């Protein structure tokens, strides 16, 4: 059985999994969101199962022990699928979708199931189409850095392969131990290094996808430049499994830097966070590879909630704000000198209260945990109301303070962290268990607040199920109409990941 286990301590995961939010206790999505309608899809029959067994063989057609596929990583949604298919090739995905299309069977494509918006799990009884077994690296061009691989390649394993050849993946996220490149592309994942290497719309060179009717769309190219016709791959990037199943990806991978350094900074006010951000851009310039922000509440959560073997000891406890700044370059003496000078001057100017500099791999890894493991730590509280908005930097932290005031003691934690270099705030609240009243006090007012400031209601996680009804806060009515037309054209029976991305038509 596949589980969405991130590379992290088993004891902490066990705590999360045995808390009130373990698989069995997660309310069915159809109950928690009673306004959802299943749609006029066919019911799965034993003939369908027999057909799939003939196609894939009995071992790759699962009908039992499906909790890990039906439930999301956050233990916040649970579908009722009775069938999981695990194809190994594009031809098998094509044959599966051809049958599903002819029979009008709904399908939920699934990669590592680390998505955070309820997009990767079925809502009702959609068939789960897992790409986990499609995990072959196909080729690496060591001149250009173009990597071609199957959709099920796990991000961290792919990066390790590239490391052996002097390259790296252009994206990195806390979910790297489980998320897959097909899932990354389908969610247009951002992550910790977007500030340096840009988004996937820039680095994906080509892709292959299977359309709803089983046709294979070949947009594979390993060229940086290809200006021929409409660039269809961009429609698939970020389409969250609603327009096609991504089966192969070609991605431009940068050279692995010779030296990486990292500083953790303690900062006394949000104004100083912004001033430090500007100072880092000027002082570190071309070697800046990541610039992340965390508030005290997120760090207390990491320090207090992760227990046992992987307890994280905070090197600078008790400060209101923190930043993680990473540099990556080609000459260690040059980079270290620049970073030490930045730290020294930052302290002299009293922007930075305290700092820790890490230059070796294990120190760097352990400091990154303070940022990367916040999502995991929050889950230990119980239910996580997770928001991922982009905002102009002058308004970045205001909403965290406002939410704290609005929600008072109806919640356990309210914290803010995120990719400040991309104007992307992760605002998170928790309660012991799901509370519909808390949710109603957050949504839709948070989305309205964000839209009024020109932000996006989903900066990088996508819309999935949980945010689809709020698309109108970030996209114009005309844009949504065109999206619906595209969906209808590419998936006329609506079998691909129904209930996701676009709101139900009234
Ligand atoms: P899944 O979760 O399985 O699927 C996500 C969506 O893509 C679903 O709608 C699914 O139907 C669709 N999908 C998956 N594979 C395919 C395919 N082959 N073809 C078509 N559709 C497909 N996201 C960020 O952007 N930045 C971050 O920094 C970040 N950090 C994270 C940290 C943690 C700890 C966790 C748990 C998640 C994080 N995420 C982040 C969210 C998540 O979007 C990413 O983890 C990742 O991109 C999802 O990949 P996946 O393989 O797990 O996809
Ligand atoms: C992150 O940047 O840590 C992820 O997007 C996950 C989260 O929002 O918690
Ligand atoms: Zn993020």
What DSSP assignment string belongs to 134-202? Answer: ---EEEEETTTTEEEEETT-BHHHHHHHHHTTTB--S---TTTTT-BHHHHHHHT---TTHHHH--HHH
494 occurs within a structural domain: no
The pTM of this model reads 0.96
For residues 356 and 403, membership in a common domain is answered with: no
Q: How far does the centroid of ligand 3 lie from the alpha carbon of residue 254, in Å?
A: 21
The number of angstroms, rounded, from the C-alpha of 332 to the middle of its chain's C-alpha atoms is 31
Distance, CA of 501 to CA of 506 (rounded, Å): 15
Domain boundary among 326, 356, 375: 375
The closest-lying atom of ligand 2 relative to the alpha carbon of residue 372 is: 3
Query: Which range among 174-183, 301-310, 331-340 has the greatest average pLDDT?
Result: 174-183
Domain boundary among 106, 130, 154: 130
Query: What is the mean pLDDT of the segment spanning 21-44?
Result: 91
pLDDT in tens, 66-85: 999 999 999 999 999 999 99
Phi-psi domain of 386 (left: phi exceeds 0; alpha: psi -120 through 50; beta: other)? beta
Query: What is the mean pLDDT of the segment spanning 163-185?
Result: 98
For residues 74 and 166, membership in a common domain is answered with: no
Which pLDDT belongs to residue 190? Answer: 98
CATH of the domain at 47: 3.30.43.10
Which pLDDT belongs to residue 310? Answer: 74
Residue 387 in 3-state DSSP?
strand
pLDDT in tens, 357-396: 999 999 999 999 999 999 999 999 999 999 999 999 999 9
Task: Tell me the percentage of the chain whose pLDDT exceeds 90.
Answer: 93
pLDDT in tens, 225-258: 999 999 999 999 999 999 999 999 999 999 999 9
Residue 186 reports pLDDT greater than 80: yes
pLDDT in tens, 96-105: 999 999 999 9
Higher pLDDT, 74 or 7: 74
Distance, CA of 460 to CA of 389 (rounded, Å): 8
Residue 483 reports pLDDT greater than 80: yes
68 occurs within a structural domain: yes
Crossing angle of helices 296-305 and 374-381, in 10° steps, is 70
Distance, CA of 407 to CA of 414 (rounded, Å): 9
Which pLDDT belongs to residue 506? Answer: 75
Closest ligand (CA of 111): 1
Domain boundary among 252, 267, 282: 252
Closest CA to ligand 2's atom 7: 375
* Residue of 79, 175, 191, 219 best suited for mutating to test ligand 1, as the one with most atoms within 8 Å of CB: 175
For residues 81 and 19, membership in a common domain is answered with: yes
204 occurs within a structural domain: yes
192 occurs within a structural domain: yes
For residues 126 and 147, membership in a common domain is answered with: no
Which pLDDT belongs to residue 309? Answer: 75
For residues 353 and 391, membership in a common domain is answered with: no
Q: Could you tell me if the CB of 116 is within 6 A of ligand 1? A: yes
Q: Which residues pair with 140 in a beta bridge?
A: 147
Higher pLDDT, 308 or 97: 97
Cβ proximity of 23 and 75 under 8 Å: yes
For residues 277 and 330, membership in a common domain is answered with: yes
Confidence of residue 12 (pLDDT cuts 50, 70, 90): low
For residues 464 and 434, membership in a common domain is answered with: yes
Higher pLDDT, 351 or 309: 351
DSSP state, residue 71: B
For residues 286 and 366, membership in a common domain is answered with: yes
CATH of the domain at 176: 3.30.465.10
Q: Could you tell me if the CB of 147 is within 6 A of ligand 1? A: no
Distance, CA of 324 to CA of 347 (rounded, Å): 15
97 occurs within a structural domain: yes
456 occurs within a structural domain: yes
Cβ proximity of 193 and 171 under 8 Å: yes
Which pLDDT belongs to residue 5? Answer: 37
For residues 142 and 247, membership in a common domain is answered with: yes
Q: How far does the centroid of ligand 2 lie from the alpha carbon of residue 139, in Å?
A: 30
Q: How far does the centroid of ligand 2 lie from the alpha carbon of residue 85, in Å?
A: 29
Residue range of the domain that includes 404: 382-474
Query: What is the mean pLDDT of the segment spanning 271-281?
Result: 98
pLDDT in tens, 400-418: 999 999 999 999 999 999 9
Confidence of residue 20 (pLDDT cuts 50, 70, 90): very low
The closest-lying atom of ligand 1 relative to the alpha carbon of residue 236 is: 20
For residues 197 and 285, membership in a common domain is answered with: no
The closest-lying atom of ligand 2 relative to the alpha carbon of residue 428 is: 9
For residues 112 and 148, membership in a common domain is answered with: no
Q: How far does the centroid of ligand 3 lie from the alpha carbon of residue 435, in Å?
A: 24
For residues 191 and 226, membership in a common domain is answered with: yes
Mean pLDDT of the chain: 95
Task: State the total domains in the chain.
Answer: 4
Distance, CA of 371 to CA of 174 (rounded, Å): 8
Which pLDDT belongs to residue 269? Answer: 98
488 occurs within a structural domain: no
Q: Could you tell me if the CB of 426 is within 6 A of ligand 2? A: yes
486 occurs within a structural domain: no
CATH of the domain at 349: 3.30.70.2190
Residue 316 reports pLDDT greater than 90: yes
């Amino acid at each position: 059985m596949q589980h969405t286990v991130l590379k992290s301590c088993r004891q902490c995961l066990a705590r999360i999994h045995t808390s009130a939010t373990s698989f069995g206790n997660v309310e069915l999505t159809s109950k928690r969101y009673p306004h959802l309608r299943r749609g006029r899809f066919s019911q799965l029959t034993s003939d369908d199962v027999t057909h799939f067994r003939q196609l894939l063989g009995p071992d790759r057609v699962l009908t039992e022990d499906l909790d890990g596929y039906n439930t999301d990583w956050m233990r916040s949604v649970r579908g009722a699928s009775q069938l999981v298919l695990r194809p190994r090739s594009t031809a098998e995905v094509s044959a599966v979708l051809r049958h599903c299309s002819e029979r009008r069977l709904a399908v939920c494509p699934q990669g590592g199931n680390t998505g955070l918006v309820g997009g990767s799990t079925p809502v009702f009884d959609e068939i789960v189409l897992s790409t986990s077994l499609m995990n072959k690296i196909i080729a690496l061009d060591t001149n250009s850095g173009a990597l071609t691989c199957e959709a099920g390649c796990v991000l961290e394993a792919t990066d390790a392969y590239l490391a052996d050849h002097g390259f790296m993946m252009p994206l990195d996220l806390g979910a790297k131990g489980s998320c897959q490149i097909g899932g990354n592309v389908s969610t247009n994942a951002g992550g910790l290094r977007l500030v340096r290497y840009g988004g996937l719309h820039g680095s994906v060179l080509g892709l292959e996808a299977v359309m709803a009717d089983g046709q294979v769309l070949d947009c594979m190219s390993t060229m940086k430049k290809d200006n021929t016709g409409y660039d269809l791959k961009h429609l698939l990037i970020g389409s969250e499994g609603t327009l096609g199943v991504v089966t192969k990806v070609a991605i431009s991978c940068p050279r692995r830097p010779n030296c990486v350094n990292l500083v953790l900074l303690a900062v006394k006010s949000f104004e100083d966070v912004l001033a430090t951000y500007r100072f880092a851009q000027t002082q570190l310039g071309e070697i800046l590879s990541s610039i992340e922000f965390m508030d005290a509440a997120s760090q207390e959560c990491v320090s207090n909630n992760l227990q046992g073997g992987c307890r994280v000891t905070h090197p600078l406890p008790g400060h209101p704000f923190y930043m993680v700044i990473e540099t990556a370059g080609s000459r260690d003496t040059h980079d270290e000198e620049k970073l030490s000078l930045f730290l020294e001057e930052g302290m002299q100017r009293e922007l930075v209260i305290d700092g820790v500099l890490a230059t070796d791999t294990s120190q760097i890894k352990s400091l990154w945990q303070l940022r990367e493991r916040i999502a995991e730590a929050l889950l230990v509280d119980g239910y996580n109301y997770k928001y991922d908005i982009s905002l102009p930097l002058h308004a970045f932290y205001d909403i965290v303070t406002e939410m704290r005031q609005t929600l008072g003691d109806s919640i356990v934690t309210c914290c803010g962290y995120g990719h400040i270099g991309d104007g992307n705030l992760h605002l998170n609240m928790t309660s012991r268990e799901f509370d519909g009243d808390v949710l109603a006090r957050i949504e839709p007012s948070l989305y309205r607040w964000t839209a009024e400031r020109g932000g996006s209601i989903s900066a990088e996680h996508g819309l999935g199920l949980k945010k689809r009804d709020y698309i109108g806060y970030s996209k114009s009515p005309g844009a949504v109409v065109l999206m619906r037309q595209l969906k209808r054209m590419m998936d006329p029976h609506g079998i691909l990941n129904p209930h996701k991305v676009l709101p139900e038509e009234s």
